[in-house]
Amino acid sequence: MVSSGAPPGLHGRAGAARLVIMQTLVVDHPLIAHKLTALRDERTDSPTFRRLTDELVTLLAYEATREVRVQPEVVTTPVGEARGVKLARPVPLVVPVLRAGIGMLDGMIQLLPTADVGFVGLARDEESLVAATYANRLPANLAGRDVFVLDPMLATGGTLETVITMLSQRDAASVTAVCLLAAPEGIERIAATFPHDDEPLPVRVVTAALDERLNERGYIVPGLGDAGDRLFGEI
Ligand code: URA
């Protein structure tokens, strides 16, 4: 079952030409809840954390790709003709946000093996909590393309706001953020983000849980700690 944390709607501000149609899906499924509980547990080691992340992302990807564009395709079976569909071109773009988003890439590509992959790197300053971009490998033109952003923790929303703005400036057709966990503060910030352009940009957040809040260090409570450290070790 999927619950919609914020109903689809237009969030606008005077002077903003481009409207963001924001939708939040909290995927409520016993397998997801089971895996997420193990992921949160501080006793879970890195190999298990990586495997659980992989599995969770594949389950979330099933919901996240529900509206991916397809085109008609007719195939011949051993007993006749079948009318079906195949993924429309241009193929979707998957964008893991470095570093922690890399831990979500395999799980997403399992369901979208033909997708292209772009990369953005953002690091947040632990004092100001402001995210700064240190890497950007995105196609210059994303017209007509569905984009899936992989970022395990939607906390303040600063990182996702920056990435959505980059994708909007490249004319992405839609942006779906796949997050293991989200905080209400991050969801609210994304819903209030207005890139400036003249076409509406559908934005969706698909997450396994909407947690209580952020703490004073910008960590999601109860959350799971630092996703990058738990996936790849402390740096
Ligand atoms: N990033 C993390 O890794 N964890 C949080 O709780 C918030 C941001």
227 Cα nearest atom in ligand 1? 3
Structure tokens at 123: 């690091």
Mean pLDDT of 57-84: 96
158: confidence class by pLDDT, cuts 50, 70, 90: very high
What are the phi and psi torsion angles at 221 (to 5°)?
Answer: -115, 125
**What pLDDT does residue 21 have?**
59
Taking the domains of the chain in order of start, what are their residue ranges? 2-69+85-215+226-232
Element (H, E) at 39: helix 30-40
Q: Do residues 201 and 168 lie in contact, with contact meaning Cβ atoms separated by under 8 Å? A: yes
Residue 45 has pLDDT above 70, yes or no: yes
Q: Which single residue is written with the structure tokens 């300053």? A: 125
**Higher-scoring residue by pLDDT: 207, 125:** 207
What are the phi and psi torsion angles at 222 (to 5°)?
Answer: -80, -20
Query: Does the CB atom of residue 153 touch ligand 1 within 6 A?
Result: yes
Mean model confidence pLDDT for the chain: 88
Distance 7 CA to ligand 1 centre (A): 25
DSSP for residue 212: S
Taking only the tens place, the pLDDT of each residue in 180-221 is: 999 999 999 998 874 434 557 889 999 999 999 999 999 999
Residue 18 has pLDDT above 50, yes or no: no
Whole-number Cα distances in Å, 109 to 9, 21, 65, 87, 142: 30, 26, 12, 14, 19
| Class of CATH domain 2-69+85-215+226-232 | alpha beta
63: confidence class by pLDDT, cuts 50, 70, 90: very high
Q: Do residues 142 and 171 lie in contact, with contact meaning Cβ atoms separated by under 8 Å? A: yes
Nearest CA to ligand 1 atom 7: 219
For residue 89, give the 3-state DSSP assignment. coil
**Distance, CA of 65 to CA of 123 (rounded, Å):** 27
Nearest CA to ligand 1 atom 5: 219
pTM over 0.85: yes
